[in-house]
């Protein structure tokens, strides 16, 4: 292999001399893009491009899966076809191959047989951990802790890279406002700003400061764009939004990702206003590559180029390929469209060589940045794979991230925290001793049944004198496939009739001082293709809940789920509720840390919880209508059978202590459009425990060239405040927080009047006003 690399180096050097490097001219607004490039890398990219034949160029835009059924429908192309293409240097990337041994062997096919020996880049869906599994992204977003989010992404990258993989298809930064949509679990929820800062933190964690490091991997901002706004919460569905909603609500996290130097983008399955995102030139070529000056490459989602036929937008894969490449979709994931048709399209002048070269250069650029041209096997190190995956250090951070993601929704009778010297506890529910569900969906290489269960966590925490009773009470699902099978082959069948386990659960509840009731969702109720019209408790869980509560009022619901749920009955009747999401490998220990007071819960909801599913899509930053909400009059924009507001609002989360906000001050009441205001507020811990609080800043532009939301999150700070302590927290209000995409089709600050609130959730009441002048 070394001999082949040495033979290739002189060819590159000669090509560099023959092929002059063209300096890229950019405007000042594109400086952030240039910072991620360097002239030496661009020379290398151009030199390789100069050596390539058309079929080899097209091959760099082809991505194959290493399995038939890993992340999408089965392929009709056989293994021999893929093998021949690999040997001919007509494949640029593989996904779903995960281990040093298999990646080395696959890379070897290209390096030993192809003409130019351009290395493959290997990708995998590493969404919330590789082998060490962290909370699902929606759950981890509830931590509002950017440091821990960056840290868990960095660990996921280290384990992924140690297993030979170069690239993850994460983070998902789709703003998601509909609890019915299964993929809401994969992002940061309903708010644009929160998605933006969390998305950037994850990108920084995955990519670090050096993509050539064997501890980092390339990230992928997805899905570009609008996927989270699928009509009726139905996956892959049509998206109906206007230009201004697109720019103000959906695109900001993606622009921030581009500015943060994210290596790749993935387009989305949906259409927007009749144009599938995979074929949307305005999104990909105009906004992303031209206006934002971004230099990475765009990969299609699984088969989405070919799916433009089903959309009714292309008559066949040839036309789909033409549309996609012209629109700026660079790499074809498993459509087999580019490999079949790009060369013909080039001859027919339906695509240009300049377009093809641009796409190929983007792919080559990342391979150079990863260091694959220097050593195609640099990530294939068996010692790293053995020593850097699923370590004690990684599990400790998984526990830390998990406990910070828990949200205390209700603690009416101060049932929590529980004393470790309590005499008896009943741990009940279909999820109480489940060691698999806490891993959640999209669990990469997480081992089936490897999580710490709630029951295990409780037993680890309490003393020997505490009696722990356990009863399952009910089966949530009826198994239909083998454990650990592919998520897309996991049809769910719920136990809707068998209540035979409830009597034993009731007897256990009678004997215990406190009941921990673990209910919620199956791990595979959320994720891709997991849309639901019912977001309540499936199976006989509600019957179990009511039966247990009837005999013991000291019930703590330990909610495990991947979406906002309808828990209205529980919220009305049960004294304590902990939102625990799917917390990953250390789930049970992390929950026990909170239950027994070793950690004071600090999580805040990244999504609003509804009173019922009829409120969906539900989000805090709505706009006023001409008839704003008024509970005293029937002809308002609300419901006659339910509140308009959330059961638990965005940003909400309780603590074992209490916080008081006071003395909100602005250093000035009027500023110019480019000016700034210094805001200060005093936050006091008025309870008896030290605790962390997320201080949230919201702003409303009262009048604009477009109607504006009633309130928007613009900043937050998570700080520790000791019992009895008061801290002064400072924020800066400037143009960045006040601008929006206006009627003039540009981002700007409009003069006018503004409200600003500071508090512990989106219902913050402490308010001040200011104005902006020309």
Q: How far apart are CA 569 and CA 640, in angstroms?
A: 19
Cα-based distances in Å from 87 to 56, 112, 239, 466, 686: 11, 8, 41, 64, 69
What are the tokens at 764? 């913050």
Q: Are strands 332-333 and 62-65 parallel, antiparallel or unpaired?
A: parallel
For the CA atoms of 614, 616, 620, 621, the dihedral, rounded to the nearest 10 degrees, stands at: -120
Give the three-state DSSP class for 657.
Answer: coil
Q: How far apart are CA 556 and CA 553, in angstroms?
A: 9
Q: How far apart are CA 356 and CA 54, in angstroms?
A: 9
Q: How far apart are CA 151 and CA 219, in angstroms?
A: 15
Q: How far apart are CA 290 and CA 284, in angstroms?
A: 9
Give the three-state DSSP class for 254.
Answer: helix
Nearest to 258, CA basis, from 183, 313, 203, 327: 203
What are the tokens at 51? 């050596």
From the number of C-beta atoms within 10 Å of its C-beta (0-12, 13-18, 19+), residue 375 rates as: middle
Q: How far apart are CA 189 and CA 191, in angstroms?
A: 6
What are the tokens at 552? 């013991």
Q: What are phi and psi of 678, to 5 degrees?
A: -95, 120
Nearest to 665, CA basis, from 602, 607, 572, 728: 728
Please state at what angle helix 39-51 crosses helix 353-369, rounded to 10 degrees: 130
Our answer to whether residue 301 is catalytic in this structure is: yes
Q: What pairs with residue 728 in β-bridges?
A: 682
Give the three-state DSSP class for 376.
Answer: coil
Determine contact, residues 540/455, Cβ cutoff 8 Å: no
> What would the DSSP string read from start to end of 152-218?
HHHHHHHHHHHTT--EE---B------TTSGGGGGS--S-HHHHHHHHHHHHHHHHTT-TTSTT--B
Determine contact, residues 524/490, Cβ cutoff 8 Å: yes
Give the single-character DSSP code of 278. Answer: G
Neighbours of 231 (CB within 10 A): 12
Kindly report the CA angle at 250 between 152 and 638, in degrees rounded to 5?
Answer: 110
Cα-based distances in Å from 272 to 4, 56, 233, 294, 706: 48, 33, 15, 22, 21
Max CA pair span of the chain: 84
Q: Which residue in the list 301, 332, 522, 715 is annotated as catalytic?
A: 301
Assign 3-state DSSP to the chain and report helix, strand, coil percentages, each to 5.
Answer: 35, 20, 45
Nearest to 217, CA basis, from 268, 163, 253, 258: 163
Determine contact, residues 591/461, Cβ cutoff 8 Å: no
Q: Are strands 677-685 and 726-733 parallel, antiparallel or unpaired?
A: antiparallel
User: What stretch of H or E contains 748?
Assistant: strand 747-748
Helix H, strand E, coil C: the string for 463-519 is CCCCEEEEECCCCCECCCCCCCCCHHHCCCCECCCCCCCHHHHHHHHHHCCEEEEEE
Q: Which residues are catalytic?
A: 301
């Amino acid at each position: 292999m070394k001999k082949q690399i040495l033979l290739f180096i002189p060819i590159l050097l000669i090509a560099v001399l023959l092929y002059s490097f063209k300096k890229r001219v950019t405007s000042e607004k594109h400086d952030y893009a240039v910072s991620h490039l360097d002239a030496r890398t661009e020379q290398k990219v151009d030199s390789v491009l100069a050596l390539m034949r058309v079929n080899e160029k097209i091959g760099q835009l082809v991505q194959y899966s290493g399995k038939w059924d890993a992340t999408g429908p089965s392929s009709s192309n056989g293994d021999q076809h893929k093998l021949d293409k690999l040997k001919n240097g007509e494949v640029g990337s593989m996904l779903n191959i995960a281990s040093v041994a298999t990646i080395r062997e696959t890379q070897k096919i290209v390096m030993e047989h192809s003409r130019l020996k351009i290395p493959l880049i290997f990708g995998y869906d590493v969404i919330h951990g590789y082998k060490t599994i962290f909370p699902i992204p929606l759950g981890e977003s509830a931590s509002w802790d950017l440091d821990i989010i960056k840290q868990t992404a960095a660990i996921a990258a280290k384990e992924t890279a140690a297993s030979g993989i170069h690239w993850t298809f994460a983070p998902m930064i789709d703003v998601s406002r509909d609890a019915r949509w299964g993929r809401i679990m994969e992002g940061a929820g309903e708010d644009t700003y929160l998605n933006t800062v969390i998305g950037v933190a994850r990108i920084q964690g995955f990519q670090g400061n050096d993509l050539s490091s064997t501890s980092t991997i390339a990230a992928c901002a997805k899905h570009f764009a609008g996927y989270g706004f699928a009509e009726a919460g139905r996956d892959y569905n049509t998206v109906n939004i206007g230009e201004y909603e697109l720019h103000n609500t959906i695109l900001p996290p993606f622009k921030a990702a581009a500015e943060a130097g994210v290596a790749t983008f993935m387009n989305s399955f949906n259409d927007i206003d009749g144009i599938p995102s995979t074929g949307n030139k305005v999104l990909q070529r105009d906004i992303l590559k031209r206006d934002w000056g971004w230099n990475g490459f765009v990969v299609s989602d699984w088969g989405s180029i070919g799916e433009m036929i089903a959309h009714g937008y292309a008559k066949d894969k040839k036309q789909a390929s033409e549309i996609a490449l012209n629109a700026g979709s660079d790499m074809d994931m498993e459509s087999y469209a580019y490999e079949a048709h790009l060369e013909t399209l080039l001859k027919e002048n339906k695509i240009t060589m300049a377009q093809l070269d641009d796409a190929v250069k983007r792919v080559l650029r990342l391979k150079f940045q990863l260091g694959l041209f220097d050593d195609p096997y640099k990530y294939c190190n068996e010692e790293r794979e053995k020593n850097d995956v699923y370590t004690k250090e990684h599990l400790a951070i998984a526990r830390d991230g998990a406990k910070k993601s828990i949200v205390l929704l209700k603690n009416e009778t101060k049932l929590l925290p529980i004393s470790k010297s309590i005499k008896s506890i009943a741990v009940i529910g279909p999820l109480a001793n489940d060691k698999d569900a806490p891993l959640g969906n999209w669990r990469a290489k997480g081992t089936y049944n490897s999580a710490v269960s709630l029951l295990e966590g409780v037993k680890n925490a309490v003393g020997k004198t505490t009696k722990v009773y356990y009863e399952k009470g009910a089966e949530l699902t009826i198994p239909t496939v083998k454990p650990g099978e592919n998520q897309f082959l996991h049809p769910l069948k719920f136990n809707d009739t068998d209540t035979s386990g409830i009597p034993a659960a009731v007897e256990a509840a009678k004997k215990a001082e406190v009941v921990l009731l673990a209910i919620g969702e199956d791990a595979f109720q959320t994720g891709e293709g997991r849309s639901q019209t019912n977001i309540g408790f499936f199976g006989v869980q509600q019957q179990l809940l009511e039966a247990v509560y009837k005999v013991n009022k000291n019930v703590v619901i330990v909610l495990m789920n991947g979406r906002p749920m309808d828990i209205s009955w529980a919220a009305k009747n049960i004294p304590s509720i902990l939102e625990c999401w799917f917390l990953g490998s250390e789930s049970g220990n992390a929950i026990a840390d909170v239950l027994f007071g070793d950690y004071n819960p600090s999580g805040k909801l990244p999504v609003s919880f509804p009173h019922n599913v009829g409120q969906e899509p539900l989000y805090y930053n709505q706009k006023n209508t001409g008839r704003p909400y008024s509970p005293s009059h029937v002809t308002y924009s609300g419901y006659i059978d339910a509140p308009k507001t959330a059961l638990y609002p965005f940003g909400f989360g309780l603590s074992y202590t209490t916080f008081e906000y006071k003395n909100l001050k602005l250093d000035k009441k009027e500023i110019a459009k480019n000016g700034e205001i210094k805001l200060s507020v005093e936050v006091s811990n008025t309870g008896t425990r030290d605790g962390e609080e997320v201080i949230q800043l919201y702003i409303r532009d009262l009048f604009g060239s477009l109607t504006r939301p009633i309130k928007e999150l613009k900043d937050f700070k998570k700080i520790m405040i000791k019992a009895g302590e008061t801290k002064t927290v400072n924020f800066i209000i400037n143009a960045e927080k006040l601008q929006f995409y206006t009627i003039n089709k540009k981002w700007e600050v409009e003069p006018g009047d503004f409200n600003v609130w500071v508090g512990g959730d989106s219902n913050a009441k402490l308010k001040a006003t200011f104005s902006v002048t020309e």
